[in-house]
Amino acid sequence: MVKSSRTRPLLVGNWKMNGLRASEAEISALAEGLGGAQADVWLCPPVTLLSHFIGVFKDAPLSWGAQDCHAQESGAHTGDVSAEMLADIGAVSVIVGHSERRRDHAETNAIVRSKLSAVQRAGMVAIVCIGETLEERERGDVIPVLEKQLRESLPEDVDGSKTVLAYEPVWAIGTGKVPSSGEIVEVHGFLRDRLDARGIGGVPVLYGGSLGPGNADWLLRLDHVDGGLIGSASLKASSFLGVIRACQQG
Ligand code: PGA
C-alpha cells in the first residue's frame, strides 16, 4: 500500500446540521469503543455542541473540530464565528470548502482560501474539501476541476503541517454511491503528486462520500487514501466504530 507519511489513518466525523445535547450518549459510546483504535479520530459536531463536548470529553482519545468559520478574526458579521473563537474553546481543526457550503453559501475557491488562512493563523488544522459534481464527471473533467480547486483553494504560503485534504465527489455525498477503486486511486495519486510538487507532500488525503462500515474495509486500504471524512456514518457510535474497526483488520 502506498500512503503518505502518516502512520495511522485519520478518520474525521462531520455531523453537519445534526445533533442535540442528547447526542452526548453517542459520544460516550464512541469514546468507550475507541480503546485500541488503530486510527486517529476527529469529530466535528455542530458549533452549538462543540464547547460542551470538548469539556465533557476532555480525556477521550478524540480531537475536536468545527465545520466552518469566518475568514476574519472579529467584526461586524452577524451570526458568524471566527477561527480564533473556535481555537479559544479548544477546537484543533476546521473543515473549509465543504461542497454543501460551496452550494448553500456560494463559497468560491477564493473564500475557501481565505478561510483556510484564518484557520492556520489561529493555529488549527484546515481540512479542505474538493470534489467534482456529477455533471463535471460526465463531461470527463474530473482532473481539471480538482486541479483548479486545489490550486485556488490553497494559499501560496499554506502550512502543509496544518493542512488535510479531503476528496469528496459531490455526487457520492449522502447517496450511497462511491467511485470505483481504480477511480479513487487515480484521483488520490494525482492529488498526491500535486501536493508533492508544492512541497507539502506530508498532507494527508482523505476520501469522503458515502464512506461507512460496509465499504470502509476496501476504501481505506486503497493506495494514497490516508483516511476518511465521514458524514452520516459518524452520527451513530455503532456505525462510526464500524468504520474505525476497519482500520484494525489485517
Ligand atoms: P456522507 O457525507 O458520509 O454522509 O456521504 C460525507 C461528507 O459530506 O463529508
Tens-digit pLDDT profile for residues 60-87: 999 999 999 999 999 999 999 999 999 9
Q: Which amino acid is at 161?
A: S
Residue 160's contacts (CB-CB under 8 Å, 6 or more residues apart) are 195, 198, 199, 200, 201, 202, 203
Closest CA to 32 of 231, 211, 250, 238: 238
Cell numbers describing residue 3: 500512503
How far apart are alpha carbons 73 and 52 in whole angstroms?
22
How far apart are alpha carbons 138 and 205 in whole angstroms?
23
C-alpha 128 to ligand 1 mean position (Å): 14
Tens-digit pLDDT profile for residues 221-245: 999 999 999 999 999 999 999 999 9
Ligand 1: atom nearest CA of 211 is 3
Q: Probe ligand 1: pick from 229, 234, 236, 240, max atoms within 8 Å of CB?
A: 229
Q: Which amino acid is at 195?
A: L
Pair 31, 60: CB distance under 8 Å: yes
* Active-site residue list: 98, 168
How far apart are alpha carbons 197 and 135 in whole angstroms?
28
Ligand 1: atom nearest CA of 14 is 9
Tens-digit pLDDT profile for residues 98-135: 999 999 999 999 999 999 999 999 999 999 999 999 99
Pair 95, 14: CB distance under 8 Å: yes
| pLDDT value at 50 more than 60 | yes
What pLDDT was estimated at residue 40? Answer: 97
How far apart are alpha carbons 153 and 144 in whole angstroms?
14
Q: Probe ligand 1: pick from 10, 11, 14, max atoms within 8 Å of CB?
A: 14
Pair 225, 219: CB distance under 8 Å: yes
How far apart are alpha carbons 132 and 146 in whole angstroms?
7
Ligand 1: atom nearest CA of 174 is 5
| pLDDT value at 3 more than 80 | no
Question: In percent, how much of the chain has pLDDT > 70?
Answer: 98
C-alpha 245 to ligand 1 mean position (Å): 18
Q: For the chain, give the longest Cα–Cα distance.
A: 53
